[in-house]
C-alpha cells in the first residue's frame, strides 16, 4: 500500500488545522511539513492544541523549498497568496488550494470581486457538482489531476441546495434568493473587533450585503454548469453566534406545471447515490449541529405553494464539507483512492 506525504501551508489557521485533523487519521497519508507565516518557529500545539499527535511539530516558514518533496501540498492561505507559491511547485506535486485564487473560470469576475490579477483556473474540487447540464459530475474531472481548487464554503451549501432543481429545469435561475447563517470560523482567525466574543455573542449580523460577496460569481458559475443559461442571485450571509456551520436557505421561482412530487424526485435522483450529501426524510429539517465534524451536507427541499417557490435548506460544517473535508475528498479522487477514505459522515452532537 502506498503512503503519500502531505504538507500543509497555513497550518496555524482554521482551514489548515482542519486539514491536519482529517489527515492525521487518514490511513494512506503521512503528515509532513506544517508551515505558516507569522507563527513560523512556534510549536503547532500553541496554535492547534487539539492536534495532540502533531502538537510538537515546529511550524516552518511557507516557502516553495519547504513544501517541495511532498506528494501533496494543501494551501490554506489568504487569497492572492496561493498562486505565487503554486507556481514554484513542480507539476508532479498534487497542490490543493483551499483559498480562492483558482476557483473562478472568468478572469474578469476575479478582478471585479478580488481586485487583483487572476492566477488562473484549476480543476474545481466539488465532486458532487452537476456538470454538462446535469449529465455529468465534477468528480470525473478530478481523476489524475495535479491541481485542485477547493470551493468556497458558502458556495458548496448554495450549490448543493439548488443544483438539482436547476438541472431538471424546475426553477427559474434568474430569480434565486439565498440567505445564510454562518459560524464565526468562516471569517478566519485574524483578530478583528466585530469578531470578538463581546461583539458576537447574543448577536446576528449580516455582511457583504447587496451583491458584494466574493462567492457570488462562483455560485453563478456552478449553476451554469448545472444547466442554467443565466443566473440572477440575491445572496445575504449572516454571522450568528456559533463557531462552525452554515445553514443555507435557498429559494427560486417554480416553473409552470412543476409539482412538489417532481421536485422531491429530482433531488432524490441527484443525491441518492452520493455518500456525502444526504436528502433528509420529508418533514425533517437540517440543523448545523448534526454536521459538526462531518464531511456531510444535509439537504431538505419543499415547495411553498403560496408564492410558487422551491425552498431548499442545506446544513454543512464550513470547515469540513465546506473546506478541509471537501479538499481531502478531492485529493482521494486525484490519487485514485476510494473517495470516502479518511472521511466520516458522522457528526458530533450535542
Quote the CA–CA distance of 155 and 162 in Å, as a whole number. Answer: 11
Residue with cell 473546506: 323
Task: Give the ranges where the chain is alpha helix by DSSP (H).
Answer: 14-23, 44-47, 64-67, 82-87, 107-114, 153-167, 197-200, 216-225, 260-271, 325-335
| Cis peptide preceding 69, ω within 30 of 0 | no
How far the first Cα of the chain sits from its last, in Å, is: 37
CA angle 76, 15, 113 (to 5 degrees): 65
Q: Is 313 a catalytic residue?
A: no
CB 269 within 8 A of CB 164: yes
Task: Tell me which of 44, 85, 129, 153 is the catalytic residue.
Answer: 153
Longest distance between any two alpha carbons in the chain, whole Å: 63
CB 35 within 8 A of CB 10: yes
Quote the CA–CA distance of 96 and 38 in Å, as a whole number. Answer: 22
Closest CA to 130 of 99, 166, 91: 166
Nine cell digits for residue 247: 445553514
Active-site annotation, residues: 153
Amino acid at each position: 500500500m502506498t503512503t503519500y506525504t502531505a504538507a500543509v501551508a497555513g497550518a496555524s489557521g482554521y482551514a489548515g488545522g482542519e486539514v491536519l485533523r482529517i489527515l492525521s487519521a487518514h490511513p494512506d497519508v503521512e503528515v509532513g511539513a506544517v508551515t505558516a507565516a507569522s507563527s513560523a518557529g512556534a510549536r503547532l500545539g500553541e496554535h492547534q492544541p487539539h492536534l495532540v499527535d502533531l502538537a510538537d511539530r515546529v511550524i516552518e516558514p511557507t516557502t516553495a523549498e519547504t513544501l517541495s518533496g511532498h506528494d501533496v501540498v494543501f494551501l490554506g492561505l489568504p487569497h492572492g497568496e496561493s498562486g505565487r507559491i503554486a507556481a514554484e511547485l513542480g507539476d508532479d506535486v498534487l497542490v490543493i488550494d483551499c483559498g480562492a485564487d483558482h476557483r473562478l473560470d472568468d478572469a474578469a469576475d476575479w478582478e471585479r470581486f478580488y481586485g487583483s490579477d487572476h492566477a488562473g483556473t484549476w480543476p474545481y474540487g466539488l465532486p458532487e457538482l452537476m456538470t454538462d447540464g446535469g449529465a455529468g459530475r465534477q468528480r470525473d474531472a478530478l481523476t489524475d489531476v495535479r491541481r485542485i481548487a477547493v470551493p468556497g464554503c458558502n458556495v458548496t451549501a448554495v450549490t448543493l441546495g439548488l443544483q438539482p432543481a436547476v438541472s431538471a429545469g424546475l426553477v427559474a435561475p434568474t430569480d434565486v434568493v439565498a440567505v445564510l447563517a454562518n459560524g464565526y470560523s468562516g471569517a478566519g482567525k485574524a483578530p478583528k473587533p466585530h469578531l470578538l466574543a463581546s461583539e458576537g455573542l447574543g448577536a446576528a449580523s449580516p455582511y457583504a450585503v447587496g451583491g458584494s460577496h466574493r462567492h457570488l460569481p462562483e455560485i453563478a458559475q456552478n449553476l451554469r454548469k448545472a444547466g442554467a443559461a443565466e443566473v440572477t442571485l440575491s445572496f445575504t450571509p449572516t454571522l450568528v453566534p456559533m463557531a462552525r456551520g452554515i445553514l443555507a436557505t435557498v429559494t427560486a421561482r417554480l416553473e409552470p406545471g412543476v409539482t412538489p412530487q417532481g421536485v422531491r424526485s429530482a433531488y432524490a435522483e441527484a443525491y441518492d447515490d452520493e455518500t456525502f450529501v444526504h436528502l433528509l426524510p420529508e418533514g425533517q429539517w437540517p440543523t448545523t449541529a448534526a454536521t459538526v465534524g462531518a464531511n456531510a451536507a444535509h439537504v431538505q427541499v419543499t415547495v411553498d405553494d403560496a408564492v410558487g417557490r422551491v425552498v431548499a435548506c442545506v446544513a454543512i460544517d464550513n470547515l469540513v464539507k465546506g473546506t478541509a473535508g471537501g479538499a481531502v475528498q478531492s485529493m482521494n479522487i486525484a490519487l485514485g483512492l476510494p473517495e470516502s477514505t479518511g472521511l466520516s459522515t458522522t457528526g458530533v452532537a450535542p
